[in-house]
């Protein structure tokens, strides 16, 4: 359940930033930057802080090579889905959603890696040990 919650937070962060609908920060900021610049900057900084937290945790837990491996795994899964006909490359909105899900999977995996590794190996990371 903790893994799903972490991925869900990553998904919400990416979807809030950009998605094919009109309900996202990028489109809202484009429409309102002249009249509400202070809010555009505030919400942009809040999203930026979220990305810094997620990217830092991801790079600390799985590193650049781990990010490459997760991206490669997601890319091959997409390739298989296209190959068997479940996805089509001709729908741009579908491709954007696919990118949103892929990025959120990378960030969610990075944020959850210590939990995944502990469950698989039974070993704790030094950051996981509670001080008593």
**pLDDT (tens digit per residue) in 72-122:** 998 999 999 999 999 888 889 988 999 999 999 999 988 888 777 777 777
Q: For residues 130 and 78, what is the distance between their CA atoms, to the nearest angstrom? A: 39
Q: Is 24 helix (H, G, I), strand (E, B) or coil?
A: coil
Q: For residues 119 and 8, what is the distance between their CA atoms, to the nearest angstrom? A: 20
**pLDDT of res. 43:** 97
Q: What is the mean pLDDT of the chain?
A: 88
**pLDDT of res. 123:** 67
**pLDDT of res. 125:** 59
**pLDDT of res. 118:** 73
pLDDT at 128 over 60: no
**pLDDT (tens digit per residue) in 48-68:** 999 999 999 899 888 899 889
Q: For residues 116 and 33, what is the distance between their CA atoms, to the nearest angstrom? A: 41
**pLDDT of res. 132:** 46
Query: Within its chain, how far is the Cα of 31 from the centroid?
Result: 25
**pLDDT of res. 84:** 95
């Amino acid at each position: 359940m903790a893994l799903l919650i972490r991925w869900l937070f990553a998904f919400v962060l990416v979807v809030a930033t950009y998605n094919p609908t009109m309900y996202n920060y990028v489109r809202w900021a484009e429409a309102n930057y002249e009249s509400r610049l202070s809010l555009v900057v505030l919400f942009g900084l809040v999203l930026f802080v979220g990305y810094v937290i997620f990217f830092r945790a991801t790079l600390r837990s799985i590193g650049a090579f781990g990010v490459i491996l997760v991206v490669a795994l997601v890319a091959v899964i997409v390739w298989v889905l296209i190959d068997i006909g479940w996805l089509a490359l001709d729908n741009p909105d579908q491709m954007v959603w696919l990118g949103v899900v892929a990025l959120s999977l990378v960030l969610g995996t990075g944020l959850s890696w210590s939990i995944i590794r502990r469950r698989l190996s039974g070993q704790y990371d030094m950051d996981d040990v509670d001080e008593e």
